[in-house]
Structure 1
């Protein structure tokens, strides 16, 4: 594993370029400052077809 990836298991690491981050404002009740900043973060990884890995190629 290098600094450009996140380890998922001992044998699986996801390259940072494969992770999409979405930020938004949280929903629901909250205090005075709850809806003023984008504090919810969702990380999305396409595990069926990562960008950068061609079918039939060895990703390692």
Structure 2
């Protein structure tokens, strides 16, 4: 497997910090900062859709 290129952590107020990464095979990854060896993976397009939906408030009911 090609290495994952992790972005800087994103930290919400008082919440866990998350990291998003990509690889050379068009895969995207998300993990808790410091626990990058336990990640979720999907396509980059799926990650884009997730982020757009969260920004649009479609996941607010989960909070």
Q: Return the TM-score normalized by structure 1.
A: 0.24
TM-score, normalization: structure 2?
0.23
**Structure whose residues are more often helix by fraction:** 2
Higher relative contact order (CA 8 A, sep 6+): 1
